[in-house]
């Protein structure tokens, strides 16, 4: 696939397609202009790494739970994006393949994968390949959800790797139970003031220009840390974590919190003086709006409130990573849905 016509903003360098398709709202919520989907921009290794560590700690494969949770989220996402008249047209037989092509292109734009459609038989099967891919198992869920939205049929996935590439085959399976109505559990929103400094030309907050969109490889790279960043919808992250908690138990939030904190403290140590020296990065990435971006010791003891927190344990883990130190212990609570209060206790 070619991305030759890819232009960036002359002032901040952010690709026009990103500025056009996404909006950083003044209340700190990052969303897609297509549909109504809220998103975050997170290090791939933070989210995928948390899932891998949960899997290691439990010692059982989580593929089935992850695929099923992501599939349902992706179906709702595609239902939302491909709706109305355009949705009816794209679901018409001659255009359905185009629908997949658009989605593959979108997956590359938001740093999830460089994917290809290898073989497609309408209403029957879909065979694709991806490399690199942000998380092969979650991506199977993404592909299943997109397929089920466009075809209006359930499918059974088969997947595996050959060399470095992942292959996905989906076969329509009439024996799968018809889906009960899917419910969208929306992440709560509260009022907040992000106070972004924005690029005068394209309106994207300053700081996003530090990211490099490598469309040919389907990746977004943070120029400062070299980390792979993915743009992922908040409902997707939360559906996956909620399903894990439902199936495995209430220990999941504690694990997610601890692994997130570990990941970001590791990153901060590797890159001293990076964006992880205060909390200003949080609103840029859509994580939430902290009431203080550079809190002092006393303020940390009193508690930092993050508004529009996308996920309480992960956001609390990020705050803890930035202010980690000897003898410090962090606690968190949710005073109101959509917020998280993070406090340090010193011994
Ligand atoms: Zn700009």
Residue 44 — pLDDT band, cuts 50, 70, 90? very high
Residue 81 — pLDDT band, cuts 50, 70, 90? confident
List, as one string, the DSSP characters of 173-231.
Answer: -TTSPPPPPP---PPP---------B-TTT-PBTTGGGEEEETTTTEEEETTT--EEEE
Q: Is the pLDDT of residue 3 over 60?
A: no
**How would you classify residue 157: left for phi > 0, otherwise alpha for psi between -120 and 50, otherwise beta?**
beta
Same domain, 230 and 294: no
Tell me: cis bond preceding 108? Omega within 30 of 0 counts: no
Same domain, 238 and 116: yes
> Which of residues 3 and 337 earns the better pLDDT score?
337
Q: Rounded to an integer, what distance in angstroms lies between the CA atom of residue 267 and that of residue 201?
A: 32
Q: What is the mean pLDDT of the chain?
A: 92
Domains in the chain, number: 2
Contacts of 94 (CB under 8 A, 6+ apart): none
Express each pLDDT in 289-321 by its tens digit: 999 999 999 999 999 999 999 999 999 999 999
Same domain, 208 and 98: yes
User: How high is the pLDDT of residue 182?
Assistant: 65
Domain boundary among 192, 227, 249: 249
Express each pLDDT in 199-231 by its tens digit: 999 999 999 989 998 888 889 999 999 999 999
Distance 98 CA to ligand 1 centre (A): 30
What domain range includes position 179? 1-249
SS3 117: strand
Residue 138 — pLDDT band, cuts 50, 70, 90? very high
Which residues are near ligand 1, the ion (C-beta closer than 5 Å)?
A: 9, 11-12, 199, 201-202
Distance 240 CA to ligand 1 centre (A): 33
**Residue matched to tokens 């679901």:** 91
Same domain, 347 and 219: no
Same domain, 181 and 243: yes
Same domain, 243 and 256: no
Contacts of 162 (CB under 8 A, 6+ apart): none
Same domain, 257 and 231: no
Same domain, 73 and 1: yes
Same domain, 133 and 280: no
Domain boundary among 198, 219, 249: 249
Same domain, 234 and 286: no
Q: Rounded to an integer, what distance in angstroms lies between the CA atom of residue 77 and that of residue 147?
A: 12
Distance 189 CA to ligand 1 centre (A): 27
**Residue matched to tokens 């993070």:** 342
Same domain, 123 and 194: yes
Domain boundary among 249, 272, 296: 249
Residue 180 — pLDDT band, cuts 50, 70, 90? low
Distance 200 CA to ligand 1 centre (A): 7
Q: Rounded to an integer, what distance in angstroms lies between the CA atom of residue 57 and that of residue 254?
A: 12
Same domain, 229 and 266: no
Distance 224 CA to ligand 1 centre (A): 19
């Amino acid at each position: 696939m070619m991305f030759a016509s890819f232009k960036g903003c002359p002032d901040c360098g952010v690709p026009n397609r990103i500025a056009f398709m996404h909006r950083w709202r003044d209340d700190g919520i990052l969303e897609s202009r297509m549909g109504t989907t809220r998103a975050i921009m997170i290090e791939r290794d933070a989210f995928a790494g948390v899932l891998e560590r949960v899997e290691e700690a439990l010692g059982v494969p989580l593929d089935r739970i992850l695929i099923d949770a992501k599939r349902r989220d992706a179906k709702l996402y595609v239902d939302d994006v491909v709706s109305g008249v355009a949705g009816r047209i794209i679901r018409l037989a001659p255009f359905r393949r185009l629908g997949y092509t658009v989605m593959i292109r979108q997956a590359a734009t938001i740093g999830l994968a460089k994917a290809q459609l290898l073989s497609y038989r309408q209403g029957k099967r879909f065979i694709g390949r991806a490399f690199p891919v942000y998380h092969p198992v979650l991506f199977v869920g993404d592909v299943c959800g997109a397929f089920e939205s466009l075809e209006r049929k359930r499918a059974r996935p088969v997947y595996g790797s050959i060399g470095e590439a992942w292959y996905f085959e989906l076969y329509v399976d009439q024996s799968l139970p018809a889906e009960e109505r899917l419910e969208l559990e929306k992440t709560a929103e509260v009022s907040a003031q992000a106070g972004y400094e924005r690029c005068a030309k394209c309106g994207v907050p300053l700081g996003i220009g530090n990211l490099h969109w490598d469309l040919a490889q389907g990746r977004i790279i943070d120029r400062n840390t070299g980390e792979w960043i993915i743009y992922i919808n908040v409902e997707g992250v939360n559906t996956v974590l909620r399903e894990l908690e439902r199936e495995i138990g209430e220990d999941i939030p504690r694990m997610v919190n601890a692994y997130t904190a570990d990941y970001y403290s590791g990153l901060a140590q590797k890159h001293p003086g990076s964006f992880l020296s205060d909390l200003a990065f949080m609103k840029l990435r859509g994580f939430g709006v902290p009431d203080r971006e550079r809190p002092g010791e006393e303020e940390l003891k009193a508690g930092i409130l993050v508004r529009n927190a996308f996920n309480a344990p992960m956001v609390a883990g990020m705050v803890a990573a930035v202010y980690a130190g000897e003898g410090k212990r962090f606690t968190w609570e949710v005073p109101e849905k959509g917020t998280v209060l993070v406090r340090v206790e010193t011994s």
